[in-house]
Structure 1
Amino acid sequence: MLPRSAGILIPLFSIRTRDNLGRGEILDLAPMIDFALSMGHRVIQLLPLDETGPDDLSPYSAMSVMAIDPTFISMSGLPGVGRVVLARAREAVGRARFVERPIIRSAKFPLLERAYRASRARGDQRAQFDAFVETNSYWIHDYALFRALKERFNWTSWETWPAEIAKRDPEALALARRELADAIEMYSYWQYIAHRQWSEMRAYAASRGAFIGGDLAFSPCHDSAEVWANQDEFDLSRTVGAPPDGFNPKGQRWGLPLPNWNAMRAQGFKVLRNRARHASTLYDLLRIDHVVGLFRTFNFGSDLAEPGVFTPVNEHDELLQGEEVIRAIKEEAGATELIAEDLGTVPPWVRASLTNLGVPGYKVMQWERDWGHGDEPFISPAAYPELSLATTGTHDTEPLTVWWRAQPIEVREKFARSLGLEGKVSPRSMLEESARFAILAALYAAPSKLVIVPIQDLFGWSAQINRPGTISAWNWTYRIPLTLERMRRSRAILEDVAKLREIAIRSGRFA
């Protein structure tokens, strides 16, 4: 069980160190954990690590929800990748804050192939590799074949492949496995390296009294290994989305296939159980993305004029389904603690159900308001339940400083008054450093067992990780403005670190 704690929300790709190749890497978690602990924060909360295609940036639309994206693998110490070779790769990538994904792939993948060839020639890791494949046989065989076929067919959708492969004829798959044996083994080896490095970071975090949080994306994307391997468990004629809300008044189409809930139930929720069991080997706590979609899934047909509908269609069946699915996830997650992302258009009975199941939901302080009251006052964090995660935002929301700047003075006044911060926060000015720390202190004092805050809000930065409903080269590419090495030498950053540590200690979240 996690103690009362504070944590930092930061995507792995956002971490910058002196040594990584254009985006955060697995072994960067060690200095990130040390930096977090120096400010009294025990938890590093990440976004999904799932592998995406060459041109896909969103970790919530992955080519596989089981495989770790190979671009996260740290190159240092891999067989066949010496210092000179690695230095050349770093020079090719450059030191820019933003590096495009194709550049990272073109720099890393040849090195990963080099490591695979060197490892196979040496043969000293064969037993460990074989054991890894055996342990992960429930997903890695389908994944590695799918990954090799994507290369063979120039990254076209699996639905356009020859029919016998698209429909998984056993003889056709057996022939493909023989023809692509080397590529299949290489992609399996890359996963072996990624998971070995991840195990090192889990052990490092445990030795330091820190915890790593992960994110269970709602669904694999249409063109993914898991959908290809389990076609009967998805309705490929419909796409999942979100009903109209503040982000998009027309609703959102996400392009994810609609789970065939009846077929999944008949299979004992095999795919979801496999995902939860696998996640339990990676994380100490697990955020369930879009949890309301497990109760009732908003979905669309191919006709763009057709309005979306909920599946199931009535509240009784929705409640039964959601609780059945979450119980299955809990069973497989074991000691890994669950958090429900219960934001957006969520019926009150969903949150009541989560409470009964012992799964904490979110309390985003800017959105916690008494909407039934005339002047809609904000709810003080002091009133949050212990079974909750308190925060200033998510990867989809604007940072606190940006939100403050956009609010009318009267809203700022309500916010400050509701938090008991009159005199500490000036509604008529921009969010000064002292006001930001006063707001954070009020949040950290909440009864909520967990407080996990986006790193931007800890330091007053204004960049946003993702803007929902938009397609942009800047979505899902955010990197912190300085390397961790430079942050630990910056007087201004270290002053903020000391203040954050004091807040964490004073609120009983760090000892």
Structure 2
Amino acid sequence: MKLYFNVDYNVKVGESLRLVINDAGFTDKPHIMFYIENGVWKCEIDYFSRAISYKYQLIDEKENVLREEYAVHYLNLPHNYEEFVIFDEWNNKNFPENYLNNKIFHNKLSPFIPEKITILENHTHLFRLEAPIYNPNWKIVMFGNTVSLGNWDYEKVIHLSQTDFGIWEVGVEITEKEFIQFKYCIYDKETGKVIDVETGNNRFTLPNHNKDILHINSNHYFRFKLYQMYHEAGVAVPIFSLRSKDGFGVGEFLDIKKLADWARETNLGIIQILPINDTTANYSWTDSYPYAAVSVYALHPQYISLENLDFSLPKEIIKEYQLEKDTLNSLELIDYEKMIAGKWKYIKLIFNAEKDNIYKDEDFRKFIQENEKWLIPYSAFCVLRDLYKTPNFNAWETHKKYIPKEASHFFTSQSKDYDSSMLHAWVQYQLHKQLTEAVNYTHSVSVSLKGDLPIGIYRYSVEAWTEPELFGMDFQAGAPPDQFTELGQNWEFPTYNWEAMKADNYKWWKNRFQALEQYFDAMRIDHILGFFRIWRMPISATQGILGYFYPAVPIVWEEFNALGIPFNYDRYCKPFINNQILWNYFGEDSGKALEFLHNDNGNYSFKKEFNTQRKLTDFFKKNPRGPIEEQLISLCANVLFLPEEKEGETVYHPRFNVYNTDSFKYLSDEEKNSINDLYHDYFFRRHDHLWYKKGMEKLPMILNSTKMLICGEDLGLVPDCVPVVMDELAIIALKVQRMPSENIPFHNPKNATYLNVVTASSHDSSTLRQWWSEDLELTQKYFNQQLGQEGKVPEELNTHLSEIIMKQHLYTDAMLAIFPIQEFFATDLELINPNMDNERINNPAVFPHYWRYRMHLSLEDLKQKKLFNQKIAHWIKDSGRV
């Protein structure tokens, strides 16, 4: 067959286009395209299959790829033609058909039955359009300026058939020889009328004078108007926070079904949760932190329902179980340690009683076989963690280094660890079954699930044990200082070795996304900035303030020299301490601090055994020193620059807020001015191109591996390149009203564009009620300027104002408006939590933090609050989010 490709694309001097066929069996090289005129590029190829997928690339004179399509073109070529002229459009990732064609909408419109079309020998043109239409009563039609296309008559439109999800096609015989103009329309099947015509200029194509050739107009997006687009409202609540009468002091996967019932009754279409992976490291409350998973695949045993396992509790322990359950369920907050100890106690009792039947279960065996790549190392890790009482594999007596053959031995019946390994595998099987049941039910009531992908992995996790080459184990990831914490955040996660991940085309990330796609329709990427750059700290640091950007364009010695800065390593890169600084930090306790310092005629330095934050912290764990501990650790950060060894050379990064350090105050004015220039160049100018390139290297490859709708948590110190990349790749951005990325007091939800999630607060912030009384001067400004209220701000947030805030977010152009469940409760006097401080989920300034929030109402009781539910349902419907 002969295929003649035509595509419109404007290039710069020295640039050109090429066509790449995505077919492993098609070994021909990429096809260079030739410029004709008016921005049109052409090429022809011989092809031997009736189905083809391909993409276009923009290249320079050396054939380096400058830009490429991340959404691939697909065509099925009719059998009764041997030559095809294809008129294409560059296919952007952020065209609506690409970001709307995801799992959420497939679920909402399933089952989808494709229609067949017939291309006749007299057909001259095949029109193909990608247009996901989510109203089942609508379809795509077209008309144009010729008699064959109806002469722009609404009564003579050409009907297209949906041959695949969101793909509309029709074959037409156009006999006229004139230049052809046309447009696509939306047609209501119930009324039999065209209800709207797409926006923009007329589309056009050429007449076809050769009956042996078929012209294919492959149009890659319908020009939607905003009202035709998908809008949804949702609720955000961690699974562990759900309260139900069936629980065991914590929310469980099967509670999602009850939450979905409530969501459906209130017209909420999406449920957003926090990460659900296993975080069991020490069986202590510190494991409540959901972003420190010991496996990126395994689910957390806390979410298992003991009453819905494949086997029942032994009769003799039911009374004991019920008493323990009632005690835990009566608590206002989660008692993580008692809850997880109780669950494991009863799981083991059931497993040991039913072991023989469990081992005979063919479905369980099948689950092991299908998931053995992650399940075997995970189960072995759990056995060894419990044996040696630590997840730190470096401290284990055996198996410090992961060897696949040795891990597989744990799953042989001859192994002494066989039963323990199978226990962990069976728990994962039960969790998978229960979560799958909850997901299927949620979909059956037209509610979608949005998950949460942590940016990092736990330092002592299965992945760090099995694939250490993929991680920077000598470093720690975190975040620079922001509105959450003035000292920054140290998550203690290792960083990623992106070059190693790139070498196998990001397989690790693709596998991770595909595992999550089993359960979720949408995914929130936590701290998406980490795909552009991460805030990195050496192991010697404990506070995020001692971090720097990675990758970065660091400062080299020549830059100091060029600015006339008298660089001195000890003065600039070590804590500067004189008598006045010593007094400022310790006052009358200065004498106690001298235990840790050398004194050189009034200039002080830390002794070698105490010269890092980590050394001090480790010392204080065994030898407490009271109030001076925090001050000594803080004094370690009184530096101007952070050194890094890079390719045999020492390079430098300015410390965050360097101008606020005591060290900076003792510089000359000339030094201060020069260092300020360096600081602003480093933080606000020199990195944008680098980080754009890094984001565009990773994200397209990863995102194209999933059908989930992707949202990015883009809060904090956001580089200019991030919103550009997110928009180009159609990653939905997050807008929190009181955390604007712009230099303004508050983000106005009315200014949110379509590719946004708007919300009033997040799990990392205080709730609205808490925030309201934190800073009344700020709240006064919000009350007057943002809410348009007159007079003095009330000292407490009332239900009326809470409603105003919710509606501000609902009546916007944003695709999604998702609110923490606490904010729903705050709109109703009957439902408001009397203890608002119990409603905070996380405080990033406190690490480790105890994540233990529970709804103060049960899901069963919430379902019965008819007036409240009707009120929410009305808001959602009236704002057009149904």
Distance 1:447 1:426, change over 3 A: farther
Distance 1:243 1:498, change over 3 A: same
**Does the CA contact (< 8 Å) of 1:369 and 1:377 recur in 2?**
no
**Does the CA contact (< 8 Å) of 1:148 and 1:180 recur in 2?**
yes
Q: Find the partner of 2:313 among 81, 102, 119.
A: 81
Paired position in structure 1 for 2:615: none
Mean Cα displacement is larger for which, 57-66 or 203-212?
Answer: 57-66
Distance 1:73 1:410, change over 3 A: closer
Cα distance in 2 for partners of 1:154, 1:411 equals 48
Q: Find the partner of 2:704 among 318, 331, 342.
A: 331
Paired position in structure 1 for 2:772: 404
**Does the CA contact (< 8 Å) of 1:233 and 1:263 recur in 2?**
yes
Cα distance in 1 for partners of 2:386, 2:419 equals 13
* Superposition deviation, residue 84 in structure 1: 6.4
Match status 1:17 vs 2:240: no
Q: Find the partner of 2:288 among 57, 63, 66.
A: 57
Deviations 1:354-373, CA, capped at 9 Å, x for gaps: 111001110111223752xx
Distance 1:332 1:437, change over 3 A: same
Distance 1:135 1:488, change over 3 A: same
Paired position in structure 2 for 1:158: 393
Distance 1:108 1:428, change over 3 A: closer
Distance 1:173 1:29, change over 3 A: closer
**Does the CA contact (< 8 Å) of 1:377 and 1:415 recur in 2?**
no
Match status 1:346 vs 2:573: no
Paired position in structure 2 for 1:109: 344
Equivalences for 1:83-102 in 2 at 5 Å?
Answer: 85-93=317-325, 94=327, 95-102=330-337
Cα distance in 2 for partners of 1:364, 1:16 equals 26
**Does the CA contact (< 8 Å) of 1:360 and 1:389 recur in 2?**
yes
**Does the CA contact (< 8 Å) of 1:116 and 1:190 recur in 2?**
no
**Does the CA contact (< 8 Å) of 1:50 and 1:59 recur in 2?**
yes
Paired position in structure 2 for 1:451: 817
**Does the CA contact (< 8 Å) of 1:14 and 1:478 recur in 2?**
yes
The residue type equivalent to 1:69 in the other structure is: H
The residue type equivalent to 1:57 in the other structure is: S
Cα distance in 2 for partners of 1:10, 1:382 equals 24
**Does the CA contact (< 8 Å) of 1:17 and 1:484 recur in 2?**
yes
The residue type equivalent to 1:108 in the other structure is: K
Paired position in structure 1 for 2:877: 505
Cα distance in 2 for partners of 1:360, 1:418 equals 24
Which has the higher relative contact order, 1 or 2, with Cα contacts under 8 A spaced 6 or more apart? 1
The residue type equivalent to 1:358 in the other structure is: A
Cα distance in 2 for partners of 1:138, 1:416 equals 57
Cα distance in 1 for partners of 2:550, 2:438 equals 40
5+ residue gaps, structure 1, are none
Cα distance in 1 for partners of 2:396, 2:700 equals 37
Distance 1:433 1:267, change over 3 A: same
The residue type equivalent to 2:550 in the other structure is: T
Paired position in structure 2 for 1:29: 256
**Does the CA contact (< 8 Å) of 1:409 and 1:428 recur in 2?**
no
* Superposition deviation, residue 135 in structure 1: 2.0
Cα distance in 2 for partners of 1:206, 1:119 equals 33
Cα distance in 2 for partners of 1:57, 1:338 equals 26
**Does the CA contact (< 8 Å) of 1:39 and 1:497 recur in 2?**
yes
**Does the CA contact (< 8 Å) of 1:240 and 1:297 recur in 2?**
yes
Distance 1:400 1:147, change over 3 A: same
Distance 1:63 1:170, change over 3 A: closer
Paired position in structure 1 for 2:496: 259
Distance 1:251 1:185, change over 3 A: same
Q: Find the partner of 1:148 among 383, 390, 401.
A: 383
Paired position in structure 2 for 1:476: 851
Q: Find the partner of 2:789 among 422, 425, 428.
A: 422
Deviations 1:11-52, CA, capped at 9 Å, x for gaps: 000000112111001111111111122222121111001111
Distance 1:294 1:186, change over 3 A: same
CA RMSD of aligned residues (A): 2.3
* Superposition deviation, residue 414 in structure 1: 4.3
**Does the CA contact (< 8 Å) of 1:234 and 1:259 recur in 2?**
yes
Match status 1:312 vs 2:539: no
Paired position in structure 2 for 1:322: 695
Cα distance in 1 for partners of 2:321, 2:269 equals 33
**Does the CA contact (< 8 Å) of 2:232 and 2:268 recur in 1?**
yes
Paired position in structure 2 for 1:271: 508
**Does the CA contact (< 8 Å) of 2:377 and 2:407 recur in 1?**
no
The residue type equivalent to 1:142 in the other structure is: P
Equivalences for 1:289-308 in 2 at 5 Å?
Answer: 289-304=526-541, 307-308=546-547
Cα distance in 2 for partners of 1:443, 1:123 equals 50
**Does the CA contact (< 8 Å) of 1:377 and 1:418 recur in 2?**
no
Paired position in structure 1 for 2:416: 179
Deviations 1:259-290, CA, capped at 9 Å, x for gaps: 11111212322322221110011111111011
Structure 1 SS opposite 2:546: coil
Match status 1:485 vs 2:860: yes
* Superposition deviation, residue 381 in structure 1: 1.5
**Does the CA contact (< 8 Å) of 1:21 and 1:90 recur in 2?**
no
The residue type equivalent to 2:814 in the other structure is: S
Mean Cα displacement is larger for which, 324-333 or 102-111?
Answer: 324-333
The residue type equivalent to 2:740 in the other structure is: E
* Superposition deviation, residue 413 in structure 1: 4.1
**Does the CA contact (< 8 Å) of 1:280 and 1:332 recur in 2?**
no
Match status 1:70 vs 2:446: no
Match status 1:433 vs 2:799: yes
Distance 1:317 1:184, change over 3 A: farther
Structure 2 SS opposite 1:244: coil
**Does the CA contact (< 8 Å) of 2:450 and 2:524 recur in 1?**
yes
The residue type equivalent to 1:405 in the other structure is: S
* Superposition deviation, residue 83 in structure 1: 6.7
TM-score w.r.t. length of structure 1: 0.91
5+ residue gaps, structure 2, are 1-101, 105-229, 554-686, 827-832
**Alignment: residue pair count:** 498
* Superposition deviation, residue 502 in structure 1: 1.3
Structure 1 SS opposite 2:763: coil
Distance 1:469 1:408, change over 3 A: closer
**Does the CA contact (< 8 Å) of 1:369 and 1:378 recur in 2?**
no
More helix by share: 1
**Does the CA contact (< 8 Å) of 1:22 and 1:97 recur in 2?**
no
**Does the CA contact (< 8 Å) of 1:233 and 1:264 recur in 2?**
yes
The residue type equivalent to 1:81 in the other structure is: L
* Superposition deviation, residue 68 in structure 1: 0.7
Paired position in structure 1 for 2:748: 380
Distance 1:83 1:289, change over 3 A: farther
**Does the CA contact (< 8 Å) of 1:273 and 1:329 recur in 2?**
yes
Distance 1:320 1:80, change over 3 A: same
Q: Find the partner of 1:137 among 372, 379, 393.
A: 372
The structure with the largest alpha-carbon Rg is 2
Cα distance in 1 for partners of 2:866, 2:257 equals 18
* Superposition deviation, residue 170 in structure 1: 5.1
**Does the CA contact (< 8 Å) of 1:12 and 1:47 recur in 2?**
yes
Distance 1:416 1:65, change over 3 A: farther
Mean Cα displacement is larger for which, 152-161 or 285-294?
Answer: 152-161
Distance 1:369 1:38, change over 3 A: same
Q: Find the partner of 1:495 among 835, 857, 867.
A: 867
Cα distance in 1 for partners of 2:431, 2:879 equals 36
Mean Cα displacement is larger for which, 25-34 or 132-141?
Answer: 132-141
**Does the CA contact (< 8 Å) of 2:391 and 2:461 recur in 1?**
no
Cα distance in 2 for partners of 1:408, 1:363 equals 22
The residue type equivalent to 2:475 in the other structure is: R
Structure 2 SS opposite 1:200: helix
